[in-house]
A and B are shown apart, each in its own frame.
Chain A
């Protein structure tokens, strides 16, 4: 029997740690969400109570439904048990199971977010590399100005401008992600490009591409991977105004409808799911960056 590699057990420990952190944060978030739903004004009040045809006994029976009577811990426990059985509850406004709504709308958001992230990262990183390595000043200045202007425009306005221009709305997510990627990647690459070993490589006559790929990018890689995790959260947040204004039937639009209809159960479930994705993306980025950090050390 082969002895276990200590590196493997270290990696497993790290994965376990991340999984435990995700679980704790989700349980905390779930508790806060459940508290919000339970304490919201109007919780447990059914529209049917307004029906004048109902007798006093029927209204009383409606008011004494189990959900209204349970205390907060009992309500949370019930919510968790439901969750473990894959039941995310029912939307009050749309009168449909939350699970069904998610199944219908989540792929649309994933498509938008994936396209936005790809576009944002491609342009952001490409321009950052060009600006950091190029000796032509106007390239960096032009990219910097573009990123700075985009940083000052709200996502909803960009989405509206795309609607007016009849351009594909999904690209707006890319424009929201792009300036953050550009600014952060540019400062990272510029800092890495000034390191002594990079200057030595340049002095020895190595080409810009080789210097970038072999000496600059590996140094900046761990932080860029961390940025990848953060950009997922940014993209999901931008999905709300984009889907609302560009009429894309994703979970962003669903969250907005839930907010306007005060459908807290749906809203809390959506927020928790997006949080889970964000946490998983951050953990994946952190785990992916670990070998790079160890290699540098």
Chain B
């Protein structure tokens, strides 16, 4: 079995399952061999043996994603079938959609439907934890749809603007 593990924040691993022996997973990650042993049920807080060392991790489903938390870092990973080729990859990147990177409240719109915008142009201002964050266009194009208005509370990953 093969999976493609994507971190929407950047980075991607190809994981291949070579063999399962009980709780031991023999894997190839981007071609490099690795062994992961589950020392408990992979749900919530559990322990694993990785590279000979026991580590505590947290794992849970988070909607479409798998949340893995270890060493005080959090990964929200999208797992898909590894057979999808590189052409599928570029499509799934959806360069024309601006999503909220964090939960927050929309304070200002900096674009209008029909407006031609350039890549990296500020489109929406979202406030979170007393900080204003200007979210920029992921690509150049024409604003197709705006799914945000000032005052709207948004969640991480929520679509705000679609650009064609």
A and B together in one complex: no
Interface, chain B (partner A; CB < 8 A)? none
Interface, chain A (partner B; CB < 8 A)? none
